[in-house]
Structure formats: structure tokens, C-alpha cells
Chains A and B, each alone.
Chain A
Amino acid sequence: MARRSGVHKVGVAAGAFGLLAACALPFVVLRSSRIDSGVDLWVWQALPPWAVVVLAVPWLVVIALSLRDRRDRVFAAARGLAASAAIVVALGLAGFAASHLLPGAGTFARVSVGGSVWVMAFFGYVVVLSARRELEGAPVLAWSISLAAPVLIIVMLVTGWLDDLGVMVEYENQKERFWEQAAVTLLVAASAIVIAAFIGVGLGLLAYLRRRTDRAIFTAVNIFQTVPGLAMIGLLIGPLAALANAVPELRALGIGGLGWAPLIIALTLYALLPIVRNSFEGLRSVSPAAKDAGRGMGMSRAQLMRRIELPIARPVIFSGIRTSSVQAVGNSILGAFLGGIGLGFFVLQGMSAQSTDLILLGSISIVIMALVVDGVMRLVEHVLTPKGLRSKEANRP
């Protein structure tokens, strides 16, 4: 990221790794059936020569644009666009390869996306992120760069360009189920966040107002964070099952050792730390002079909190809620181990059917959902930031 050196290091490195991934890892995997382990096909086996060239071009452009490190918005934007193109082209050509490989491969044949496409997408994303950071002062450009690849991928999905890839075949088979499960994931994550926001902001306030309590609160909240996902679930199943046995009314509500109840509880517990921490730190970041002035001019404690401290802390608090939300969506994959709640359902199904495409359908859609949630919440955060504090916004993690 050093800007003074001759080359744009991130661009050159990511570009080189992208090209390397294209050559060194299989591009697609051809299976005779959905559970067959399949044969790896490299780029040159899966694609005609012209397509190999098309695949390489955006990466070469990324590298070419990075040979000189110019602190120029146009260059950063161009680099981000080229990287977006690299992601889209890789995915698009995988779809293209699938359409050409399937007809000769039998009725049950499947084509899965190979490692090289994922790694290319990853490095493309790295370049997009770094371009985004360089475009900090130009929000419109920054947003266009971040949205270029997602929009094009959506276009490919809608037009059916990717329909022959294994993941999409699985999606096509269980379309309705997919959206149902996606809705459940969102609902579960949102419930957890709403609960965690109330508890977390409350605890943050308590720690701030009663300084003696902060140690205990942070210790408790930190402990939740250190429990690994599966262990957390394991710890919740027993008590909840016992509770449901003891109180049949709860069982009737769907609460039990498996299902949505332990998932929401687990997600809530994980979500607490960022929210409590940011509420506490956000309130503490209010300058002592401003608080002294407010008090000295005759604000009541409640007025000071409502008019001064909370509004100044609000963007920081919300950024904690955003972090938690992204985590909650990601952690919702734990639903796979609780009887297939939410998109984890497909992971569970995929594991029992030994179908990588199914597992992928569940996990990749969770990743996408997390990215979307992050983007939407960033937008909300910007709107919620009081105008006088916006210049500091860029410095917030």
C-alpha cells in the first residue's frame, strides 16, 4: 500500500496472483453425477484459445495500470473496474465452459466452478477494495466501482448465462426452498441483531454511566466471543431441550434444543461484543469539554445524554451494529447443525448428499448476503452520521 514506491504493490501482486491462479488451479470440475468426485479441467482444457485470452486480458490491464503508482483517481477507478471485469469474466467463462461441456457428458453430469475462479474472484475483490479506499473522497466513484461486479453478476444470473453451472442447477432444482431459507436466514439474523442491539446498547450505557460495572460487563461479553461456534451450539442444545421438555408451551412455539431458538441465541451472544464495545467507546469519545459545556450551561443529565452524548456516539454505535450484523449473517451457517435452519439447510443437505455444489449454494449465498448487508448498513450509517461529524467518518473502522 506504500504510495511512494514506483509500482502499485497491491495491484501488481493481486494481478500476478490472479494470473497464477488461472494457470495453477483447475478452472472447472466435470462430474458424471452430482456426487461424483469428478475430473479437474484446467483453463486450456475447458476453454477455447480465444476465451483463454479474454480471461487473461483484464488481469494484464490491472497489472499495466499498476506499474506506476499514481495517486490519481482515474487510475484507481480504472484499476477497480478492470478487477471487476476480471471477476465477471472468470465467472462468465466458467458458465460458458459449463454450457459447452455438459452436452457431451451425459444426463446427470455436473460442472462445478473450480479453485482458480474462486481465487481470481478473491484477488479481484482485493483490488476493488484497495481502489475503493483510494477513492475515499469520491463517494460516487467508490460506490460505482464496488457495485460494478455485483451488478454484472446479477445480469448474468438473470439472463441465464450461468444456468449450466452446478450451483445454479442445484438452485434451479430448489428455487422456492432457496428463497424461503434465505428469508429465514435474514429473519433469524435480524431478530438476533435487534435483541443484541437493545441489550448491547443498554450494557454499553451501563458501563459508561457506572464505571465500576465496565470490567464485569466486558469480561462477560468477551467470553461469549471466545466460544467457538459449534461449542456454543453444543452448550445451548442441552439446556434448551430440557427447558422445552419442562414447559410444553415453549415447545409448541417451536423452541427446543434444535431449530431457530438456539440459533438466535447464539447469534445474539456473538453480536453483543461489537455493540457493547462501540456503544461504550462511542460515548467515551465525546469530548470532555463538550460535556462540561453542556452541563455548565444547564442541561439535565437526560438532556446531555439525549442531545449531546448519544448523537455524537450514534455513528460509532451503529458501526458496531453493522459489524455484528455481518457477523450474524455469516454465523447463521451454524443453522446447518441445528436441523438446517436458514441457508445452512443446503450445507446440511450437501454434506449428507456429498454434493459440493449444494454446500456451495448454501455458503456462497451467505457470503453474498453478508456483503449486501454490509453495503446497505454502510449507507444507513452515512445517513445517520450528523453532518458536523462526517469529516471524521472516513477514519472509522
Chain B
Amino acid sequence: MISFEHVTKRYEVAERPAVDDLTIDVPDAMVTILIGPSGSGKSTTMRMVNRLIEPTSGVVRLGGADVRDLDVEDLRRGIGYAIQGVGLFPHWTVHENVGVVPWLLKWPQPKIDARVRDLLDLVGLEPDVYDGKYPDELSGGEAQRVGVARALAADPPVLLMDEPFGAVDPLTRDRLQAEFTKIQQALRKTVVFVTHDIDEALKLGDRIAIMREGRLVQFDKPECVIAYPADDFVSDFVGSERALKRLSLARVAGVASETATNDWAASVPRSATLREALARILETGEREIGVSDESGNIIGSVGLEDVFAHFERPVE
């Protein structure tokens, strides 16, 4: 749906381009993470999609059309936009903030009202409580939820999110990420998501684009980025504990083996990650533990051998 073809952006003052000959096809209905160190051109790349920035050369396409051929306001109203600073309008209530794009699209008021309530529900904010609040009455986490709800308001097929969970404590961020995953599983939007937190990228991304000094260094599935980093820069960026990170991308369900006995000293749910299973194994001192389904019945087992086997299997 979104594609960049040899896109370069050069700011007047800078000696090197902020984005340098970027070519990338953003897959539909997936979360594509743009990640890289500060100044690597992530925001610039993202903002060229909704034409907040115009490329110096190259073409950005949306649904096949050059974005420069689309009416700029229509284009923007059709794309959800959430940013790190959240940028809620301080003189508007939560309701008015969330309803801004539908309002720009001239939806009838009752439809906007109903939509806003649904969205507040969706992002986990009780509509009756939050509807009439002003941004300065919200905590950082609540404000970011409102920011996400606002981006989703007109049900756009494409979402641009620039560090939307940047300014909150780790616990709140975990919760927001979990909710985002849930929402995305239901809505299946095409999401471009900027972050510089590798754990967030691995957790949320279907694809990860790693950028450095305006250039695309690697564009891959999270598993492949960890297993086969393109160069030293990427492996540095992914950081130490690559093995553990790889384990946290695999679910127990995928590696568990059939078992005859139900008699295990410990067990993990099948939705757990391999990393969690390994932790459980180490904590209990068992070489193998049970795997349970949603209702707690043992359906298999997972052991140290499975963990090793997982590493030997190639990542595709």
C-alpha cells in the first residue's frame, strides 16, 4: 500500500541527506517498524507519507498513486497520525480531540459522538469518565491512549505512529504495547511505527526497517533481524542477549512436543514465549516442564532440548 522509490530528502542546511535513496515496500495490514539511532531519518521518512515533508527526489506511493498527485488535506485525513508529543489540543475536550478527523470529514455529529465513545472503549478509557476531560487533566499514559484513539477515529487503513508510547514509564508502556497488539490483531491496519527502542520493535513489529544516517540498512522479519543481522551496526543495535531476544519471539506452542504423562512439576501456558519457558525451567530446576492450554489442561511438554533445537532450526 505504501512504497518508497529511491526517495531522498535533503534539508537545505545539512551536508548529508536526512533520507538517502530509500526504497522500501511497506506490506499491507502489518506493522512496519522504522528504527535507528537519533537523527537517522525515521521521522523524516514517515512524514513524507502524509506530505508533512516533501521528498527532494524519488516517489512515495500510497495505494499505487504518487502522494503528490493527491489533495494534501484529503490525503492526511485518510491517514491516522499519532506522535510522540501526543499533541492533544489543550483547549478541546478528549471528545473533541478524538473526533477531530471525523469533524474535518464533516461526519454528522451523532455519528461522531458514537464513534468517539467506541474508540475510548477500544483504548481502555471509560467514555463516561474521560469524554469531557481536558488534556491537562490526563496522565501521560492516558494522553497517549487518547492520541492513539484520535489517530484511529476515521478508521483509516493506514496509521503513522511516531514514537507514540515514548513519554511514559516502562510499566505503562508495556500495557500500551499489549493493548496496541490486541487492537492491531482486530483491525489489521497498515502501520508505520517509529521507535528507537529495539524491544518495542521486536514486540510490535511484523517487519523491521533499520535505518542509519538516512539509509536503509536492513528490512526483515524480527526473527531474521536477530538471527542474521546484516552487519555489525545492526548486531550492535540489536544489542547483547540476542539469543534471549530470539527466544522471546518464539511461542511455546510452536515447539512443544506431544507427551504421554500429565505429571509435570511445573508448566507454562502455550501462549508463553520460549524465553518465559526457559526462565521457568531454570527456576524449577527441571529439564522439562508441561505446557497447558487456556483452560489449564496439560497438552504437551517443553524442555531444554526444544530450546536448543529452536536455535538449530533456520529462520525463514
Contacts and interface: CB of A to CB of B under 8 A. Distances in A.
Contact of B134 (A292, A312, A388): A388
B104 interface: yes
Given A298-B73, A308-B89, A388-B90, A293 B83 contact: yes
Given A387-B134, A388-B134, A297 B91 contact: no
Candidate in B81, B91, B134 with the most chain A CB atoms within 10 angstroms = B91
Interface stretch (A133-141, A283-291, A334-342): A283-291
A388 B47 CA distance: 29
B269 interface: no
Contacts of A290: 87-90
A143 B134 CA distance: 26
Interface of B: 47, 50, 52, 72-78, 81, 83-93, 100-101, 104, 134-136, 150, 160
Contacts of B136: 388, 391-392
The 8 A-B residue pairs with the shortest CB-CB distance in the complex, in nearest-first order: A289-B85, A293-B87, A289-B87, A388-B134, A298-B76, A386-B91, A298-B77, A296-B81
Candidate in B47, B72, B90, B104 with the most chain A CB atoms within 10 angstroms = B90
Contacts of B86: 289, 293
Nearest to B134: A388
Interface of A: 287-300, 303, 308, 311-312, 386-389, 391-392
A75 to B, nearest CB: 30
Candidate in A294, A297, A308, A386 with the most chain B CB atoms within 10 angstroms = A297
B106 to A, nearest CB: 12
A389 B134 CA distance: 9
Given A293-B81, A297-B100, A387 B73 contact: no
A20 to B, nearest CB: 46
A300 B77 CA distance: 11
14 contacts: A289-B83, A289-B84, A289-B87, A290-B87, A291-B87, A292-B83, A293-B87, A293-B150, A296-B47, A296-B81, A297-B81, A297-B101, A298-B104, A388-B136
Contacts of A288: 85
A311 B91 CA distance: 8
Contacts of B84: 289
A298 B101 contact: yes
Contacts of A300: 73
Contacts of A386: 90-91
A337 B75 CA distance: 62
Nearest to A295: B52
Contacts of A312: 89-91
Contacts of A289: 83-87
Contacts of A292: 52, 83, 85, 87
Contacts of A297: 76-77, 81, 100-101, 104, 150
A176 to B, nearest CB: 47
A297 B147 CA distance: 12
A287 B75 CA distance: 24
A387 B91 CA distance: 6
Given A386-B91, A388-B135, A388-B136, A296 B83 contact: yes
B52 A388 contact: no
Contacts of B47: 296
Nearest to A301: B73
A303 B91 CA distance: 15
A126 B183 CA distance: 59
A306 B83 CA distance: 22
B54 to A, nearest CB: 13
B81 A389 contact: no
Given A292-B83, A312-B90, A391-B136, 17 more contacts: A287-B85, A289-B84, A289-B86, A290-B87, A292-B85, A293-B83, A293-B88, A293-B89, A294-B89, A296-B52, A297-B104, A298-B76, A303-B104, A312-B91, A388-B92, A388-B93, A388-B136
Contacts of A298: 72-78, 101, 104
Nearest to B101: A297
Nearest to B100: A297
Contacts of B87: 287, 289-294
B79 to A, nearest CB: 8
A194 to B, nearest CB: 25
A391 B136 CA distance: 8
A310 to B, nearest CB: 10
Nearest to A387: B134
B104 A299 contact: yes
Contacts of B75: 298
A61 to B, nearest CB: 40
Contacts of A389: 90-91
Nearest to B133: A388
Contacts of B93: 388
A305 B82 CA distance: 20
Nearest to A386: B91
Contacts of A303: 104
A297 B51 CA distance: 11
A311 B96 CA distance: 14
B224 to A, nearest CB: 32
A296 B90 contact: no
Nearest to B97: A293
